[in-house]
Amino acid sequence: MPRKVLVTGGAGFIGSNFIHYLLDRYDDISVINLDDLTYAGNLRNLADLEKDPRYFFIRENICNFPGLQTVFKKFEPDYVINFAAESHVDRSILDPDIFIRSNVLGVQNLLKLSLDCEIERMIQISTDEVYGSLGESGVFTEKSPLDPRSPYSASKASADLLTLAYYYTFNLPVNITRCSNNYGPFQFPEKLIPLTILHCLKGEKIPVYGDGLNIRDWIHVDDHCSAIDRVLTDGIPGEIYNVGAQNEMTNIEMVNTIICALKELRPDLPLTEDSIVFVPDRKGHDRRYAIDPEKIQKTLGWKSRMPVSEGIKTTVEWYLNNVNWLESVINAEYLHYYSVNYRIGNPLPKL
Ligand code: NAD
Ligand code: TDX
């Protein structure tokens, strides 16, 4: 009998990469992708799997308990991996309510049904942002205190606590993974890296918050997927695993790396240092993240593979080869969000 994996939020950036990752590697599994297709969910990310008999898509919201229950009863999954969430910090500052609904109440539904249906393992995909912000030194370990600062990170920390409560109270076999900033194909262009590429292609200035010296710790999405796969296979129930590739960069360094890659691949684009514009800082902007991945490396033998210079180059190439994908996600909703967040009136021109 093939193992059945229920992936929630599988039409988003990391979820769709993870489904590809699993189906590329294992013949003896089937994947049920449950996703409500919010602005961030996109079935184009999985178009190549439409005819794969191992893949099923269900449109459903994790906040709708009866609908979710029907899916659990119908498919009887062995594993549940929850990627479904509102994922953008800036949107959580503009409108926190939906973050509490999807990221907390939705997770409660998944935990309850995982328990009722005696799921073998439930993995909650969390984030390094639950640990808050670092100063100039230090790294986040699994023992670092939770200190979330944005409505987004507070909602993710809440879900983590609820997930652990199901382990300690009900013995539900759960794991939590806390990964640093991901980059790669299919990332929605509200996030720094695809937004920078998009603006370079459009000849628009790249908006960098504050002084541009905030630090993020970058990991290629494939490395995140391989870490989740290791946890799915061998994680110890109740354990939290930090995931990161030890690639700390200031935002300015990252933007300049992308500009350099684009200059090489598209010398026709008019890119200079003036392509960057410093804009008002994000409220409560966390200064620095850095993940210590020693636990997952030592206990599960995981390690990241993709060097950031190569990963950024291949990611830029992917967006250049998939301009249609970028165009398809820039709709009225995106333009409205963009104009509110960046306080500008005019829409972006066509690519
Ligand atoms: P994303 O925004 O690209 O995708 C989220 C997906 O969840 C979308 O397909 C959306 O339609 C779906 N979704 C949202 N609310 C839903 C609901 N109520 N019911 C059903 N489906 C719903 O996000 P992402 O960047 O792929 O992140 C996936 C997960 O990984 C999130 O939980 C996020 O917190 C976590 N994470 C992301 C990063 C990162 O760098 N992007 C890093 C660490 C952890
Ligand atoms: O226009 C921008 N200008 C800018 O300077 C945007 C969108 C971002 N930034 C900065 C803010 C951050 O310091 O770039 C950095 C990265 O920003 P995002 O891409 O929005 O990611 P971040 O806020 O760090 O959160 C991401 O990583 C952790 C994901 O969105 C989360 O889902 C994940 O949990």
209 is catalytic: no
Q: 32-50, pLDDT tens digit by residue?
A: 999 999 999 999 999 999 9
Mean pLDDT on 298-307 = 98
Ligand 1 nearest-atom number relative to CA 35: 21
Q: 171-185, pLDDT tens digit by residue?
A: 999 999 999 999 999
237, 173 Cβ separation under 8 angstroms:
yes
What's the mean per-residue pLDDT of the chain?
Answer: 96
* Count of domains for the chain: 2
Amino acid symbol at 15: G
Lowest mean pLDDT among 51-55, 217-221, 346-350: 346-350
Residues 123 and 261 in one domain: no
pLDDT of the residue at 343: 85
Ligand 1 nearest-atom number relative to CA 187: 3
* Atom 3 in ligand 2: residue holding the nearest Cα: 208
Residues 41 and 178 in one domain: yes
Residues 133 and 199 in one domain: no
Ligand 2 touching residue 195 (CB < 6 A) = yes
Residues 129 and 196 in one domain: no
78 is catalytic: no
Structure tokens at 192: 């720094």
Mean pLDDT on 9-24 = 98
Q: How confident is the model at residue 349 (pLDDT cuts 50, 70, 90)?
A: low
Q: 222-263, pLDDT tens digit by residue?
A: 999 999 999 999 999 999 999 999 999 999 999 999 999 999
Q: Which ligand is in closest contact with the Cα of 185? A: 1
Please give the distance, rounded to the nearest whole angstrom, from the Cα atom of residue 192 to the centre of ligand 2. 6
Residues 210 and 225 in one domain: no
52 is catalytic: no
Q: 92-111, pLDDT tens digit by residue?
A: 999 999 999 999 999 999 99
Ligand 2 nearest-atom number relative to CA 127: 34
Residues 253 and 268 in one domain: yes
CATH number at residue 68: 3.40.50.720
Residues 103 and 252 in one domain: no
Closest CA to 189 of 101, 344, 318, 79: 318
Residues 146 and 265 in one domain: no
Residues 144 and 196 in one domain: no
Mean pLDDT on 62-68 = 98
Residue numbers of the domain that contains 262 = 192-215+248-285+307-342
Closest CA to 248 of 214, 294, 297: 214
Mean pLDDT on 102-122 = 98
Helix (H) or strand (E) holding 121: strand 121-127
Q: Is residue 298 part of a domain?
A: no
* Atom 32 in ligand 2: residue holding the nearest Cα: 87
Residues 146 and 279 in one domain: no
Rg, the chain, Cα only: 20
Residues 232 and 333 in one domain: no
pLDDT of the residue at 344: 76
Q: Is residue 302 part of a domain?
A: no
CATH number at residue 271: 3.90.25.10
